[in-house]
Amino acid sequence: MYFDDVRVMPVIGLGTLAVLLAAAVWHDVRDYRIPNVVVYSGIALAVLMHTVFPAGGGFAAALPGGIGLVKALQGLGVGLAALLPFYLLGAAGAGDAKLMAMVGAFVGPVDTLAVVLATFIAGAAMAVVWLMSGSLSAQLPAHPTPSASDPALRRRWHAKLPYSVAIATGTAAWVAIKVLV
């Protein structure tokens, strides 16, 4: 297997991303937690592949190949910046922000914006389904909305929604569109 074969790079790059996203989803759905080993190893692999593979437009580009260290790190930054405000507001977990950063390292800065948009759409759809199914209301306490001064009540108030599912769905949608167009 040669890394300069344009048919191999997308399989390795996108296959690795898919495996890492599947692992993140599995852990998040099971434990509402995304292990750091999944995200940090994914970031390291993305940066390594984009640095070692021959130059190209990314793993799902018409001319597949590595985008280089700088663009991989820029993608990481864009992904982190997209979900960091939600983490700081308590609307997303740290694992979700780190997972989006990992995806950004795989896809680069420009495509990360498209993945984030697709993820937000998938997340909104998930929330609507969750609300309509009654799962969300069953998790919320009957007490008034918690204040910022009661962190224990705030944690119970916030519904558990494994956002890694939205991230994986948004990423898959981006890959499908990118490959088909």
pLDDT in tens, 129-180: 877 776 555 555 555 555 555 555 444 445 578 999 999 999 999 999 988 8
Q: What is the mean pLDDT of residues 18-40?
A: 95
Residue 1's pLDDT band, with cuts at 50, 70 and 90, is very low
Per-residue pLDDT, 149 = 55
Q: What is the pTM of this model?
A: 0.82
The tens digit of pLDDT for each residue in 79-125 reads: 999 999 999 988 888 999 999 999 999 999 999 999 999 999 999 99
Per-residue pLDDT, 43 = 97
Per-residue pLDDT, 44 = 97
The segment with the largest mean pLDDT, out of 3-12, 27-36, 127-136, is: 27-36
Classify residue 85: in a domain, yes or no.
Answer: yes
Per-residue pLDDT, 157 = 44
Per-residue pLDDT, 103 = 97
Q: What span, in angstroms and rounded, lies between the C-alpha atoms of 127 and 146?
A: 20
Classify residue 154: in a domain, yes or no.
Answer: yes
Q: What span, in angstroms and rounded, lies between the C-alpha atoms of 52 and 47?
A: 9
Classify residue 143: in a domain, yes or no.
Answer: yes
Classify residue 138: in a domain, yes or no.
Answer: yes
Q: What is the DSSP string of 57-80?
A: SBTTSSS-BB--HHHHHHHHHHHH
CA nearest neighbour of 106 among 62, 49, 63: 49
Per-residue pLDDT, 104 = 96
Classify residue 16: in a domain, yes or no.
Answer: yes
Classify residue 94: in a domain, yes or no.
Answer: yes
Please give the residue range of the domain that contains residue 102.
8-180
> Could you give the 3-state DSSP secondary structure of residue 52?
helix
Per-residue pLDDT, 159 = 56
Q: How many structural domains is the chain composed of?
A: 1
Per-residue pLDDT, 42 = 97
CB count in 10 Å sphere of residue 47 = 19
Classify residue 2: in a domain, yes or no.
Answer: no
Classify residue 162: in a domain, yes or no.
Answer: yes
